[in-house]
Amino acid sequence: MSQDTPQKPLNIAVLTVSDTRTKETDKSGATLIGRLQDAGHQLGDYAIVKDDIYQIRAAVSNWIAEQDIHAVLVTGGTGFTARDTTPDALMPLFDQVIEGYGELFRYLSFQEIGSSTIQSRAVAGVANRTVIFVMPGSTGACCTAWDKIIKEQLDNRHRPCNFVNMVTYFQAH
């Protein structure tokens, strides 16, 4: 990481997908908010929606339509129950899929929870120059995703590559 280069703070939205959590009980959302702010970014928006394809899709669609939201972090709804529909809701929105994110997340998660990681449908993609990272709803999964993958990819000083120039392109031009 090049420390001589000034950091470009991003506006990041956080979405928790849950039928039961509230802003008072959403530890995973709070963890992501704390970590993105500790990394020098701003919270662009925060919401909790039910495990419903159309509520999930609507919330993220609104954010990717806003030029000042650079990234969206989505926690929850990535398993295999009938109510886990987050990847199904969001993948149609992606202009590009970031295959390596899910692969790397499951690799790292395997070291923490073993073979249960196969039940994680963590996905990521780019939609309208907004990068979207989807992770399981546990606080541990959010820490793994942010600390070991997302934090570096949303830091313009990370080399050899990161997503910052792509998501801030219109601000610079």
The model's confidence at residue 5, banded by pLDDT at 50, 70 and 90, is confident
Cis peptide before 160 (omega within 30 of 0): yes
pLDDT over 70 for what percent of the chain? 96
Tell me which of 3.40.980.10, 3.40.50.2300, 3.30.230.10, 3.40.50.12780 is the CATH number of domain 11-172: 3.40.980.10
Q: What is the mean pLDDT of residues 78-100?
A: 94
Please name which of 118, 26, 114 lies closest in space to residue 76, comparing C-alpha atoms: 26
- Give the separation between CA 43 and CA 9, rounded to whole angstroms: 10
Amino acid identity of residue 119, one-letter, is Q
- pLDDT in the model for residue 171: 54
CB burial readout 92-118, b (16+ within 10 A) else e: ebbeeebeebbebbeebbeeeeeeebe
- Give the separation between CA 166 and CA 55, rounded to whole angstroms: 27
- pLDDT in the model for residue 173: 41
Question: Residues 32, 33, 36, CA angle at the centre, nearest 5°?
Answer: 80
pTM of the shown model:
0.95
β pairing state of 96-97 and 123-127: antiparallel
Please name which of 60, 29, 36, 49 lies closest in space to residue 123, comparing C-alpha atoms: 60
The model's confidence at residue 38, banded by pLDDT at 50, 70 and 90, is very high
Amino acid identity of residue 4, one-letter, is D
Per-residue tokens: 92: 């149609």
